[in-house]
Amino acid sequence: MDTQLELEIVTPTGVVVRENVDEVEAPGVMGHFGVLPGHRPFMSQLRAGQLRYRTGNDNHYVAVHWGFAEVLPDKVTILVETAEIAGDIDLERAESAKKRAEERMQQFGAAYDADKVKAEYDRAQARIDAVEQARKQS
Amino acid sequence: MPSLRDLKRRTESVKNTQQITSAMKMVSAAKLRRSQDAILSARPFAKKMLQVLNSLATRADMDAHPLLTVREPKNIDVIVISADKGLCGSFNANIMKKAERFLGGLEAESLDLQIVGKKSRDYFRRRAYNIRSEFVDIFRDLNYENAAAIARPLIASYHEPDSEAGQENTVDAVYLIYNEFKNVIQQDVVVEQLLPIQKLDLDNDTERQDYIYEPSAEEIYNAVIPRHVEYQVWHALLESAAAEHAARMTAMDNASKNAAELIEDLTLTMNKVRQATITREILEIVSGAEAIQ
């Protein structure tokens, strides 16, 4: 049995992460799920949220938005539309994006483009969460 | 015979132009490299997506998806991707020519255009075409969102063929016309059918993993298929961007070469004129001296 997982996070603009890790936790549509080496083959849709992966004692956070994960006993592939490593996220921008989405949600209620605004909101929230988690870590 | 001063002035101006064209060539070369990188880094995503579709193929009813159903093409939508800027040889002209020929050959009740790029917008606005939406100035900072913004409304209107409200917005077939980057000196205009999705190029021999699906194979499949369409648009945008830079680089290289030739010619004439002037002056002095004697 392998002791490590190969994690690959792929987006349409390139491979964001390719690393050997010990544990991955991802935001599945039916709840967060954790993956350790030797997991059964598994495929899940992902929602906007933060993904965590651990190498030794270091936790890393990535904000992901829409996609799915393919889990094999020795490999995890995350296919997402966007993936941002916590260290690269501009917290201010994420917060202002969240605010904007909130305002729009109040303005229009559940009307036109509600899905899009909600997606924007979730995405901003995911970014903020990822940054905050990463800060707590260090 | 042009005067020496005129010739000098012309040489200077051609030299200036040459400087500009060779600078533009270098800029395009750098941008081309970046666009090529972008195409390369988009590849793993496509590969992985096909793999996933592959493994889903046995689990979900592949042909049942609405984006794969073929309808009689009454309402056709065509996406034309050109550049925002000119000075890139026949890049834009080729697209327009091909697009117009293709549109002329279509038999449809209604024909809508989705325009990407300033050049094709300017072209089609002046003609009797129905432009559904325009995407201008997206190449400067190209990102996946652009592709999604183009593809999503189309996917949505393809989905609901019979909804009453969206009657005029429904689409039965979508085509994509863009410049494909073959290599630095060759760009090909290609016409691709985007919707209904052509038979997916799935490889049936690969060993399939027995996955646990969450929520279910169908749902994942239904979520992946529209992304596949978006990705195709994204790919076309990337190809077109790379092709544009390549075309501009070649065009500017030719322009610089022509300028060099012109400068050479002008310098030659300038020297001739100078020689002629000197000869004439000597002649005048000599004949003046002769006259005195």
Question: What does A29-85 look like in DSSP terms, one character per residue?
Answer: TTEEEEE-TTPPPEEEEE-SEEEEEEETTEEEEEEEEEEEEEEETTEEEEEEEEEEE
Return the structure tokens found at A90.
């501009």
Average pLDDT over residues A40-45: 88
Does the pLDDT of residue A110 top 80, yes or no?
no
Task: Give me the CATH number covering residue B49.
Answer: 3.40.1380.10
Mean pLDDT, chain B, integer: 86
* Distance (Å) of CA B157 to CA A78, A111, A114, B67, B76: 29, 19, 18, 10, 11
Measured distance CA(B171)–CA(B75) in Å, rounded: 5
Phi, psi of B66 (to 5 degrees): -55, -30
**Residue A12 to residue B231, Cβ atoms within 8 A:** yes
For A13, the closest chain B residue by CA position comes to B42
Residues B158-212: tens digit of each pLDDT:
876 555 544 555 788 899 999 999 888 888 999 988 888 876 666 655 556 678 8
Which has the higher per-residue pLDDT, B51 or A138?
Answer: B51
Which helix (H) or strand (E) segment is B137 a member of? none
Mean per-residue pLDDT, B265-286: 94
B197 and B245 assigned to the same domain: yes
How many CB pairs (< 8 A) connect A and B?
A: 69
Could you give phi then psi for residue A4, rounded to 5 degrees? Answer: -130, 160
Could you tell me the CATH number of the domain that includes residue B279? 1.10.287.80
Residues of B within an 8 Å Cβ radius of A: 38, 41-42, 44-45, 48-49, 52, 55, 143-144, 147-148, 209-215, 219-220, 223-224, 227, 231, 234
A9: Cα within 13 Å, side-chain hemisphere: 26
How much of chain B, in percent, has pLDDT values that exceed 70? Answer: 90
On whether the CB atoms of residues A122 and A102 are closer than 8 A, the answer is: no
Domain range spanning residue B262?
4-24+252-292
B50 shares a domain with B144: yes
Q: What angle is formed at CA B262 by the lines to CA B261 and CA B265, rounded to 5 degrees? A: 90
How confident is residue A112, by pLDDT bands cut at 50, 70 and 90?
A: low
pLDDT recorded at residue A20: 92
The model carries a pTM of: 0.84
Please give the structure tokens belonging to residue B187. 């760009």
The more confident residue out of B66 and A79 is A79
Residues in chain A with CB shorter than 8 Å from the CB of B234 are: 12
What number of CA atoms fall less than 13 Å from residue A18's CA on the CB side? 5
Provide the number of structural domains found in chain B. Answer: 2
Candidates B52, B150, B211, B238, partner chain A, best to mutate (most A CBs within 10 A): B211
Q: CB–CB of A70 and B52 under 8 A?
A: yes
Q: Same structural domain for residues B242 and B159?
A: yes
How crowded is the C-beta side of B263, counted as CA atoms within 13 Å? 15
Contacts of B49 in chain A (CB under 8 A): 79
> How does pLDDT run across B84-123, given as a tens digit for each residue?
998 998 999 999 999 999 998 888 888 889 999 999 999 9
Q: State the Cα–Cα distance between residues B59 and B37, nearest whole angstrom.
A: 35
Residues of B in contact with A70 (CB under 8 A): 48, 52, 211
- Single out the residue in B234, B250, B266 at which a domain terminates: B250
Predicted confidence (pLDDT) at residue B8 exceeds the cutoff of 80 = yes
Contact B147 A68 (CB under 8 A): no
User: Does one domain contain both B81 and B167?
Assistant: yes
Q: Residue range A17-41: average pLDDT? A: 90
How far apart, in Å, are the Cα atoms of B193 and each of A33, A87, B230? 38, 41, 13
| pLDDT range class, residue A7, cuts 50, 70, 90 | very high
Q: What is the pLDDT of residue B33?
A: 93
Asked whether residue B223 falls in the same domain as residue B269, the answer is no
Q: Where are the domains of chain A?
A: 5-87, 88-137
Structure-token match 């790919």, residue found: B235
| Predicted local confidence at residue B140, as pLDDT | 86
Q: Which residues of B touch A64 (CB under 8 A)?
A: none
Q: Which residues of A touch B231 (CB under 8 A)?
A: 12
Strands B110-116 and A5-11: unpaired
Q: Could you say which of B235, B250, B265 is where a domain stops?
A: B250
Are B185 and B77 within one domain? yes
- The SS3 of residue B192 is strand
* Residue B237 pLDDT: 93
Matching residue, tokens 């063929």: B161
| CA distances in angstroms from B226 to B88, B156, B232, B233, listed in the order given | 33, 9, 10, 11
Q: Is B88 a catalytic residue?
A: yes
Nearest-CA distance A39 → chain B (Å): 11
Cα-Cα-Cα-Cα dihedral of A110, B65, B194, B208, to 10°? 120
Name the minimum distance, in Å, from the CA of A105 to any CA of chain B: 20
Q: What is the pLDDT of residue B166?
A: 47
Q: Same domain for B162 and B274?
A: no
Q: What is the pLDDT of residues B17-59, one digit of tens each?
A: 999 999 999 999 999 999 999 998 888 888 888 888 877 776 6
**Catalytic option among B88, B103, B229, B255:** B88
Tell me which residue in A10, A13, A45 faces B223 most closely, judged by beta carbons: A45
Residues B128 and B153 in one domain: yes
A113-117, B12-16, B89-93, B118-122 — which is least confidently predicted? A113-117
Question: Using 50, 70 and 90 to split pLDDT, how confident is the model at B60?
Answer: low
pLDDT higher at A17 or A109: A17
CA–CA distance from B271 to each of B3, B267, B275, B279 (Å)?
11, 6, 6, 12
Q: What is the distance in angstroms between the Cα of B190 and the nearest Cα belonging to chain A? A: 22
One domain for residues B56 and B179: yes
Q: How far is B220 from chain A (nearest CA, A)?
A: 6
- Considering the domain architecture, whether residues B60 and B192 belong to the same structural domain is answered as yes
Are B142 and B275 in the same domain?
no
Selected from 2.60.40.420, 2.60.15.10, 3.40.630.10, 1.10.150.120, the CATH number assigned to the domain covering A5-87 reads 2.60.15.10
Nearest to A10 among B44, B55, B227 (CB): B44
